[in-house]
Each structure stands twice: as C-alpha cells, then as structure tokens.
Copies of this chain bind each other. A is one copy, B any other.
C-alpha cells in the first residue's frame, strides 16, 4: 500500500470545528442588524453557509489503515500542523467574507477578501472609504473578525508554533513541547484555555468600562473586541479620535495590556510578581513605551503648540497603538515632523511582546538581536572566550539565536522584496514601503498614501491581493506559510 505524506482527516476535523464556531459567531450579529433596522439575511445566510461547509468537512474519511506513519489516524504531526494553520486561515477568510459579499457592502471579491484578511490577521487596514454609512450588524461582524483572529493567534502561539519550532518561539511559548517532540503536548490545551480566559475576561472588562465611561453599548462592544485583538478596526471614520480623552486613555491602557505576553498576564493575575519581573521583554516593553512617549510628547508639544495634555495623550496613544500594532489613530502622526514619521515607520516593524496578539517582529527578537550584537563586540575582542547570551536570567542556546536571526533577516528581505513588487504594481516609494511594512507587521495604518488618515480602498485589485498574502505571512510568523511553497515540504523524505 502506498504511504501517504499527509493525513487529511485531522486537518479536516480542525477546520470543520473552526468553521462551525465562525458560522455561529456570524449569527450573533443578527440582533444588531435587527436592533438597527437592517436586514438580518446576509449574516443569516453567511452563517448557515459556513455551518454547512463545516458539516461537509466532517465527512472526510479516515485514511486506509497502515498508510500513515503515525499510530492514530487523528494524531497531528508537523506536516499536518503546517497545513492546519494554512488551511484554517484560508477557510476563515474565505467564509469570513461572505457577509460582505451577500450584503453587497463590499461586492468586489478583492475588497471583501482584503477586509476579511485584514480583520482575521488583526491588521485593521480597511477598504471602506466611509465606514459610518455601513450597516451596523456587518460592522460588528467586521470587529468580530479581529477578535476571532486574536483568539486564533493565542492558540497558535501556545499550541502550534512551538510544535513547528519556528522563529525561536521556544523562548517565549508557555510550556512549549520542545524541538524534539513531534506531537501536541496534552497540557497545551489546558494552557490555551487559561489564556483564552484572560483574553475573554479583559475584553469583557474593557467593554464594561467603556460603557460605564459613556460609550454606547454598540461602540463599547466593537472597540473592546478590536482593542484586545490589537486589531484597530473602528466603527468611526475618525477611529478612536472621536472619543473623549478619558476613553482614549482607557484604550491606551488596554492596548498596552494586549501587547503583554499572555503568560506574563497570567502570572500577574496569579500575583506571581517575582516571575513577572523576570521577563526582560516586559521590562524592555515598558521602558520603550515610556521613553518613546516622553520623546514624542516633547516634540509634539513643541511642534504643534497644542496643550501639554493633548500632546501627551496623542503621543502616548500613538506610540502604544503602533508598538502594539493595534493601529488606532487619534492624530495624523505623519503631519508632526519628519523625525516622528521616521520613528513611527520603524515602530511598524517592532511589535510588542511575543505571546500576545500583536504583530511585527516582537520585542523579544529585537532584544536577542541587540544583546547579541553587543556581545559580538566582546567576542571580537576576546575571540577565545565563550560569551553566552542571557535572557530572563537564562542562557539562550545558539540554535535559538540562529532561528531568530533567520526570522529577522527573512522579515526584512520580505519587506524589501514586497516593496519592490508593490512599486512595480505602481505604488510610489513611500506608499509601497508603508503598505508593505504595515501589512507585514499587521499594524493597519502606514505612511505615504496609506497613512493614518487614508485607507486602502483606492489600491488596485492586484495590490490588494498581494497585501492579503503579506498580512497572512506576517501573522503566521513567515515560515509557517512560506514552507508550503518549498519542494521540501511535499517530499516524503
């Protein structure tokens, strides 16, 4: 009997369960449609279609006995892991765009796909040039796509990425199975549940606080969903800029929390402060936010002549929004000064803590790289000495450093290559690098013609499709997607 490379049954099971959840979540938008006097049919039909597809997938038969290298026909191995991630995301965006298509809100497939990918990857770039005229039920679904995406990222970080061992993930994954194990760890699902609980809890807390502090229930629900997902979709054209200062401060705090590693958040809730404070990444994150906020405040205050409070609020909001890759906007950061535009552009790459829903490179990788670069000078002066890199008080193995370097350089080469592709497709220099950086980092707003006060609706369909692919690559830590395009993946040995 022929050996099979891939066991499709567990993949189909996972995708099926996922579509079932997504279909059910679509239906939760119907009360909003009803409340605001809009048609409930697009969400109903989209939800039923998705649930129907879930049912069909459940029918995928088991592989013939003995044709697979693994013991049980539902065991997930590395290869299946990659495909689960890729196919799950493909299924999520394919069915996720149905409400936009059915309702005619975004009748064009390129636009509907872009909006859905931008949602599910928690990017938050939009093809809607006027958000406020859209049906409220569908805008709720749009916000929900980000929250679903955020939830997906948490389970990926806890359960899938460590199994695949990419990008030095061992450094920050909670209870990672380690590079030798090839199967899902039984405790993983426990961890994932715990972190989901925090994610859901913080979303609820933020929603309630927003409502108490004066937002309508609808606004509170939408913006708590997209804040905790570090997504950045808003139901207003003016993004978070339309809210009163107290809400902007509230959002700033929760964006910051959403950028913290969920394992660290869990330790904080358990009051295990000494362990919390061992995280070098957390310290760097806090330090970076403080330093950048103060620098921005001083510059913005000086340049704009606005009141100090406003300068501080806009500065800290924008710094936290960009570093957590949320992408909410309360001020046009490209209008302040060239130096601040430049720093904001750099922030599109950084990312917040690994193990959060933020995108970009993540602080821990930048930290490893910077520390190692500094140590490299010491190694140059003392070539015979063994000078290890320590993080959180522990030595980081050279293997992981190499993985991180590979990740960083691949990130940069993708950025460069993508920018060239976008410019060949007709974008000007600033817009090309802005769109590429913000898509790869899952931030949302960029620079140039896709800046904080612009949107992505005017781009051509090919550009939108390229950016969709880029957003997914960025969200899935590069290697997860790209490995599928190498011949190695599809060979039995």
Identify which of residues 312-363 in chain A touch chain B, using a CB-to-CB cut-off of 8 Å.
338-339, 341-343, 345-346
**Is A447 within 8 A of B420, CB to CB?**
no
**Is A341 within 8 A of B488, CB to CB?**
no
For the complex, what is the distance from the CA of A376 to the CA of B419, rounded to whole Å? 23
**Is A488 within 8 A of B424, CB to CB?**
no
**A179 lies within 8 A of chain B by Cβ:** yes
**Is B430 within 8 A of A429, CB to CB?**
yes
**A3 lies within 8 A of chain B by Cβ:** no
Q: With A419-B342, A420-B339, A420-B346 in contact, do A165 and B429 touch (Cβ < 8 Å)? A: no
**A406 lies within 8 A of chain B by Cβ:** yes
For the complex, what is the distance from the CA of A342 to the CA of B433, rounded to whole Å? 9
Binds B, one of A92-100, A303-311, A378-386: A378-386
**Is A372 within 8 A of B406, CB to CB?**
yes
Residue ID in chain B nearest A484 by CB atoms: B377
Chain B residues whose C-beta falls within 8 Å of the C-beta of A374 in the assembled complex? 486
Binds B, one of A35-43, A119-127, A241-249, A410-418: A410-418
**Most B CB within 10 A of own CB, among A346, A376, A423:** A376
Chain B residues whose C-beta falls within 8 Å of the C-beta of A377 in the assembled complex? 479, 482-483, 486, 488-489
Chain B residues whose C-beta falls within 8 Å of the C-beta of A396 in the assembled complex? none
**Is A380 within 8 A of B432, CB to CB?**
no
Chain B residues whose C-beta falls within 8 Å of the C-beta of A104 in the assembled complex? none
Q: How many chain A residues touch B (Cβ–Cβ < 8 Å)?
A: 53
Q: With A338-B426, A377-B479, A486-B377 in contact, do A346 and B179 touch (Cβ < 8 Å)? A: no
Q: With A409-B373, A430-B429, A430-B430 in contact, do A339 and B483 touch (Cβ < 8 Å)? A: no
For the complex, what is the distance from the CA of A342 to the CA of B448, rounded to whole Å? 14
**A470 lies within 8 A of chain B by Cβ:** no
**A402 lies within 8 A of chain B by Cβ:** yes
| Closest beta carbon of chain B to A451's beta carbon, Å | 12
Chain B residues whose C-beta falls within 8 Å of the C-beta of A432 in the assembled complex? 338, 342
Chain B residues whose C-beta falls within 8 Å of the C-beta of A413 in the assembled complex? 369-370, 373
**Is A383 within 8 A of B488, CB to CB?**
no
Which of B372, B427, B483 is the one whose CB lies under 8 Å from A380? Answer: B483
**Is A429 within 8 A of B341, CB to CB?**
yes
**A13 lies within 8 A of chain B by Cβ:** no
**Is B489 within 8 A of A416, CB to CB?**
no
Residue ID in chain B nearest A479 by CB atoms: B380
**Is B376 within 8 A of A479, CB to CB?**
yes
**A185 lies within 8 A of chain B by Cβ:** no
**A301 lies within 8 A of chain B by Cβ:** no
**Is B408 within 8 A of A409, CB to CB?**
yes
Which of B369, B370, B381, B410 is the one whose CB lies under 8 Å from A483? Answer: B381
**A175 lies within 8 A of chain B by Cβ:** no
**A275 lies within 8 A of chain B by Cβ:** no
Chain B residues whose C-beta falls within 8 Å of the C-beta of A372 in the assembled complex? 406
| Closest beta carbon of chain B to A3's beta carbon, Å | 16
Chain B residues whose C-beta falls within 8 Å of the C-beta of A410 in the assembled complex? 373, 376
- A selection of 23 A-B contacts at a CB cut-off of 8 Å is A164-B380, A165-B380, A166-B380, A338-B426, A338-B428, A338-B432, A342-B419, A342-B423, A342-B432, A343-B420, A343-B423, A370-B413, A372-B406, A374-B486, A376-B479, A377-B479, A377-B483, A378-B486, A382-B488, A398-B402, A405-B409, A409-B409, A429-B430
List 4 additional contacts besides A164-B380, A381-B483, A398-B402; criterion CB under 8 Å: A338-B432, A342-B429, A405-B409, A412-B412
| Chain A residues with a Cβ under 8 A of chain B | 78-79, 164-166, 179, 338-339, 341-343, 345-346, 369-370, 372-374, 376-378, 380-383, 398, 401-402, 405-406, 408-410, 412-413, 416, 419-420, 423-424, 426-430, 432, 447, 479, 482-483, 486, 488-489
Going nearest first, the 3 A-B pairs with the smallest beta carbon separation are A342-B423, A339-B423, A339-B424
